[in-house]
Structure 1
Amino acid sequence: MKRALLALCWIGLVFLSSCEREPPPPPTPPPPPPKTAQQLHGQVMSAVRPLINGAPESGALLKSSLTSELGKLRTEVNGEAARSLVETEVKDALKAAYDGERWQEVLNVCEGVDAMDPGNVRVVRYRERAIAEKNKPQVTMKGIFQIEGTPTVFFDVYLPETGVTTDAKVREGEEFHGLILEKILGDKEGAQLKYLKTEQSFTVKGVAQQ
């Protein structure tokens, strides 16, 4: 009986000793810190920046991509700050395209700004200007002739809005296809026209200058 008790005690001691030697479980690692606004901004722009260009199809793609990427920011701690950074960069890209007179790119980036700031006044103004410029008639001067004693300029006019090329015989001060012939420049040197949609004047080279 004593031997049995001793054996049981020995087994108990061995068991307790083995339990004491088990290492404690590792501590739970802390959660990773939230992504900074700059990191989130970089992620969004890496997805949308390639779409800021003058390809006709890029406008709809840019708007769709921005909408998707900005939606992901809603669950991020610094998402609102990142959104502000994205909006600033896209609006800066719009102004750069406008200043550079890259009109299709202006239209594309307007779509992107619409995704973040619908009804933005600058977008309305820039879009109107870009559409007007893309539809601006392309004029080639064919010559100057005297008709009934009055100098008359013969033009070929391509209309981008319709894809039609037509001709026009115009005297100073007359309007044609949204343009006005402001003045004839010298003897076949060219003509100064005004585009009525933008109120901007431009020069068309004469036959001798082409």
Structure 2
Amino acid sequence: MSRMSYKEDVYIPMEELYRVDTGYRMSGGFNLSIQGLTAGATVPPLAPVSVDKTTRTATLLKRVRVLEAGSAAKTLKVSKFSQVTAGTFLSNGTATLTVDSVDTSDKDFDLITAKADTSAFTLGAILYEATDASANKSKGVADYLIYAPTKVEEGATITALARAFEVQTSKLYIPLTEDDKKSLTDRFIFV
């Protein structure tokens, strides 16, 4: 008799995230930089990455959608799959918070505990990883999206999606900022 085991922390695809017949994948792969990522976690499809074509390295860009407005309580409910860890700086463009800890135990959201008040962060806002606690400057913008789910492990590679139409932005596991969308140019059409 065989035993089956199921991994519960892996995303479950709901439906198509874009019109698949319009997708164009880059030839060859890119090495996924795993620095600052949780070993063994799965990066979902259409996650934003910044690619260095010289070294053929892709860096995951950390983004979250705020699911419940912030408060003086120093906690913030955000979307899953972001790979945000303690010490990460998150910004909405005008305010930045420093992540003290992240509770990923709930299946519907991650609960960030910040070092200070989170009331500057409104419901639905997209937060991006900032370079430091005061600059509100993004650590990077997307030039490609990840084509398929990728496990975070030594030697992991990704296939870059270079074009896709009718991308369902509300269904993306890791949201995109407006700067990401501009950087992806007209190779991507977001609905």
Q: TM-score, normalised by structure 1?
A: 0.21
Structure with greater helix percent: 1
Structure whose CA Rg is larger: 1
Structure with greater strand percent: 2
